Structures are given as C-alpha cells and as structure tokens.
Amino acid sequence: MISFLSGKILEKASNTVILDVNGVGYEVTVPLSTYYELGEKGDPVDLRIFTYVREDTLQLFGFKTRREKALYLKLLSVQGIGAKSGIAMLSGMSADEITLAIRTDDLARLTSIPGVGKKTAERMVIELRDKLDDIGVSALPKRAQEPDGSESGNEAFGDALSALVNLGYQPKAAKKALRTAVDEGCELTVQKLLRRGLQLLAK
C-alpha cells in the first residue's frame, strides 16, 4: 500500500496532480488546500498518500501535511462520508477550521461546506468531537484576553489559552490547566503549553 510519494510535478489540474517518481507517473487526487501549496511543473513535491482500494477502483489521495491526512482519515470514519466527499470537505474548509467547528459544535459552519447537510454535520460532531486531540491546531488565533479582561503577561500563555477556548474548553478550566502546566515547569512555548494543557484537561 502506498503511503508516501516524493517526486516532481508532471501535470496538475484543479484537484489532481501527476507525480513523476523515478519515471513512473502517479495520478493523485488532492484537496484544494494541498493544491494551492503545490509548485509548478517540474518542481519537487512530497505527498502523504491514502490508497483507496475497492473491487473496481484503486485511487490515490494526497495531502501536503500529516495533519491533513490524519483529519481526512477521521472524516472517513463517519457514516455517509466517502473518499471523494472527504476531499471535497478539505477543499471547502481548512483542517483547522473543520477541527474547531467540530470541537465547538458549530453545525452552521460545517453545513456551509458544499455537500454537507445537517445530519452529516451532526454525525461529525457526535462521532469526532472527542477524537481530534491528536490533530491539533496549526494556525493559532489572535491572543485572547483572560476571563478577567486583562491580557496575559506571557504571549505564549495567551495564545495557548486562545487555542483551548476555540477548541471548546471553558476559559476558566483552560486557564487553570495552563497555570498548572507552568507550575510544573512546562517550557513556555505555545506548542508545549497547548500539549500539556490538553493532557490535563483530558484527565
């Protein structure tokens, strides 16, 4: 089973790219989020691959990042979401936006994706809400204010707090978890604080 391809772009269209890998051309279907990050003909590219196999079908789906592929596989586990519709979802909304919408029960945001109806959106929230901790958020929102209205004195703390709140956690609980992480001696970077904060909130 193919899980990764590294080669040069031979051709590309709106949702497909043909990679020349040592003289062998692989046609790969990609979401628009990946397509926009591809270079031009002849440029090198690495893609993480999901191989879709059925009795009469063998199709490759490619993703620029590990997180995109991980979210795609989560989406496929939801009843009613198939290989092509999962790609359509990632074309209509970024991985960060989908993750946040699911974690915050934002059905209106999810149903704004072409092809996603209310029932599918509800299933996404119910089935995936508690299964996205390993996906994370790469594009963190603007630093939030603390619940008492004053900004955190540490920018990393504020960014981590904003991310947790946007993921659906209550501000008070999120701030408590982050303060615990700081007291434990956690490195004061957004990624380390966010990871430890999520671990504490999951207990």
Q: In the structure, what pLDDT confidence band is assigned to residue 147 with cuts at 50, 70 and 90?
A: very low
Q: Indicate whether 71 and 51 sit together in one domain.
A: no
Q: Is residue 145 part of a domain?
A: no
**pLDDT greater than 80 at residue 24:** yes
**pLDDT greater than 50 at residue 145:** no
Q: Indicate whether 58 and 79 sit together in one domain.
A: no
- What residue type is assigned to position 80 of the chain? G
Q: Is residue 144 part of a domain?
A: no
What is the per-residue pLDDT across 55-106, written as a single tens digit (0 to 9) for each?
888 999 999 999 899 999 999 999 989 998 899 888 878 888 898 889 888 8
Q: Is residue 139 part of a domain?
A: no
pTM for the model stands at: 0.65
Lowest mean pLDDT among 33-37, 102-106, 132-136: 132-136
Question: What's the structural domain count of the chain?
Answer: 3
Q: How many residues does the chain have?
A: 203
Burial (CB count <10 Å: 0-12, 13-18, 19+), residue 57: exposed
CATH assignment at residue 92: 1.10.150.20
pLDDT of residue 129: 86
Q: Is residue 44 part of a domain?
A: yes
What is the per-residue pLDDT across 177-195, written as a single tens digit (0 to 9) for each?
888 988 888 888 877 887 7
**pLDDT greater than 70 at residue 139:** no
CATH assignment at residue 22: 2.40.50.140
CA of 92: how far to CAs of 14, 43, 150, in Å? Answer: 13, 25, 36
CATH assignment at residue 194: 1.10.8
Q: Is residue 73 part of a domain?
A: yes
Pick 12 or 155 by higher pLDDT. 12
Q: Which domain holds residue 27?
A: 4-63
Pick 102 or 139 by higher pLDDT. 102
- d(C-alpha 198, C-alpha 196), whole Å: 5
**pLDDT greater than 50 at residue 175:** yes
Q: Is residue 138 part of a domain?
A: no
